């Protein structure tokens, strides 16, 4: 194999640039040329593809977002769109493609592989919602952003003796809420993987006030209920001075943490090795600090699993 491609797709995540850098440098290290697809699958269909050199990925390891840009592209969900993509790749003489993104992007990679074009998936999403890896690229950075916000909100919550509802991202997964809630010392954490009882939440608030707590922090995953709606419910059921903070897209930005940079470097480099070994249709990941890979079709079928021990611990520590 003499020429490979790389693209980033779906929601951006801090550390995607470090992964792109690793793909480019690892390939060039093995005397393989690399082409970057600009703008995800939309860029692939339109042939927005350019050659990347060692210098093209200089000075990006510390930057959030993705220099290759990202997009959502419905046309790529159709066979016609996918075949247009294959055509463009062939036109540029590209023989394998590394796709950095979430599960939607993996579906695109699987489709290309099924059309005879080998792809390898690299998990890039802040949501940590992909099977086959303990951590996705961007999760650690997003978590640190959320914790920083919780710490700041806690200062003002204490001063005014307020209850704060903080809504965090995660789509249908509760990992950001659970980890940030545990690390930020939240009294209550609502995640899609667990049920909640409104009476119980309010009882808990009352009890903590009785034992002298000056504030309460409730972390709500966006996949459960909107923070605003949940805040309203608390106001209706208690007399607590309640405020809501929706953290939003700030969670997707920022300079990637050291953990995400190292993870992205390891996974990006392994993806190139797999492509060069002729192993298309795989997705890379990390487990117990070892880089692993699985069939991408298996990953897409397997549900993402939350760490329920962590959930149990968070409940035990927030009594
Ligand atoms: P993420 O990769 O972060 O999960 P999306 O779910 O939006 O983000 O997916 C990103 C892109 O992947 C979509 O805009 C589309 O181009 C492509 N994609 C998603 N689902 C499929 C599918 N079933 N088949 C082919 N391509 C898909």
Closest CA to 36 of 8, 12, 11: 8
Q: Which residue has the CA at smallest separation from atom 8 of ligand 1?
A: 10
Binding residues for Mg(2+): 103
pLDDT at position 157, please?
86
Q: Is 111 in the pocket of ligand 1 (CB under 6 A)?
A: yes
Known binding-site residues equal 11, 21-25, 72-73, 102-105, 125-127, 154, 162, 169-171, 185-187, 211, 213-215, 222, 243, 249-252
C-alpha Rg value of the chain to the nearest Å:
21
With both helix axes pointing from N to C terminus, report the angle between 175-183 and 139-160 in degrees, rounded to the nearest 10: 50
Q: Is 41 in the pocket of ligand 1 (CB under 6 A)?
A: yes
Ligand 1 contact, 77 CB (< 6 A): yes
Which domains does the chain show, CATH number per domain?
A: 3-138+256-301 (3.40.50.450), 141-252 (3.40.50.460)
Residues at the binding site for substrate are 125-127, 162, 169-171, 222, 243, 249-252
Apex 42 CA angle, 41 and 48, nearest 5: 95
What contacts 281, CB < 8 A, 6 or more positions away? 110, 113, 118, 119, 120, 295, 296, 297
* Ligand 1 and 132: CB distance under 6 A: no
Which CA distances in Å does 157 have to 146, 186, 268, 302? 16, 12, 41, 40
Ligand 1 close to Cβ of residue 81 (< 6 A) = no
In this structure, the residue with its CA closest to atom 12 of ligand 1 is 105
- The sign of the torsion formed by the CA atoms of 137, 65, 259, 189 equals negative
| CA 282–ligand 1 middle distance (angstroms) | 17
> Does the CB atom of residue 79 touch ligand 1 within 6 A?
no
- pLDDT tens track, the chain, 319 positions: 999 999 999 999 999 999 999 999 999 999 999 999 999 999 999 999 999 999 999 999 999 999 999 999 999 999 999 999 999 999 999 999 999 999 999 999 999 999 999 999 999 999 999 999 999 999 999 999 999 999 999 998 888 888 999 999 999 999 999 999 999 999 999 999 999 999 999 999 998 888 888 789 999 999 999 999 999 999 999 989 899 999 999 999 999 999 999 999 999 999 999 999 999 999 999 999 999 999 999 999 998 889 999 999 999 998 7
Please name the residues in contact with 289: beta carbons below 8 A apart, sequence gap of 6 or more: none
Confirm or reject: Cβ of 103 under 6 Å from ligand 1. yes
Which is it for strands 33-37 and 49-52: parallel, antiparallel or unpaired? antiparallel
Mutate to test the pocket of ligand 1, among 7, 8, 9 (most ligand atoms within 8 A of CB): 9
Catalytically active residues, by annotation:
127
Ligand 1 centroid to residue 128 C-alpha, Å = 16
pTM: 0.97
Ligand 1 geometric centre to CA of 293 (Å): 20
Specify the pLDDT at position 161: 81
């Amino acid at each position: 194999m003499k020429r490979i491609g790389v693209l980033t797709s779906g929601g951006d995540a801090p550390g995607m640039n470090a992964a792109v850098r690793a793909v480019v440098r690892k390939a060039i290290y093995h005397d393989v040329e690399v082409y970057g697809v600009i703008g995800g699958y939309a860029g692939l269909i339109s042939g927005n593809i350019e050659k990347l050199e060692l210098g093209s990925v200089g000075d990006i390891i510390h930057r959030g977002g993705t220099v290759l840009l990202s997009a959502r592209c419905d046309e790529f969900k159709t066979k016609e769109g996918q075949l247009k993509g294959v055509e463009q790749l062939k036109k540029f003489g590209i023989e394998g493609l590394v796709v950095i993104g979430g599960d939607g992007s993996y579906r695109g990679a699987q489709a290309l592989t099924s059309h005879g074009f080998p792809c390898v998936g690299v998990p890039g999403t802040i949501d940590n919602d992909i099977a086959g890896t303990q951590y996705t690229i961007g999760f650690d950075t997003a978590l640190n952003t959320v914790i920083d916000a919780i710490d700041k909100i806690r200062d003002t919550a204490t001063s005014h003796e307020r209850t704060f509802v903080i809504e965090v991202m995660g789509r249908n997964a509760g990992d950001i809420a659970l980890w940030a809630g545990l690390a930020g010392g939240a009294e209550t954490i609502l995640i899609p993987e667990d049920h909640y009882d409104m009476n119980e939440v309010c009882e808990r608030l009352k009890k903590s006030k009785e034992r002298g707590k000056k504030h309460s922090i409730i972390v709500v995953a966006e996949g459960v209920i909107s923070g605003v709606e949940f805040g309203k419910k608390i106001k209706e059921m208690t007399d607590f001075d309640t405020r809501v903070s929706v953290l939003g897209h700030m969670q997707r930005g920022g300079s990637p943490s050291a953990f995400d940079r190292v993870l992205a470097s390891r996974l990006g480099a392994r993806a190139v090795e797999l492509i060069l070994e002729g192993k298309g249709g795989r997705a890379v990941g990390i487990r117990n600090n070892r880089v692993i890979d699985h069939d991408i079709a298996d990953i897409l079928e397997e549900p993402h699993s939350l760490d329920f021990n962590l959930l149990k611990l968070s409940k035990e520590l927030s009594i």
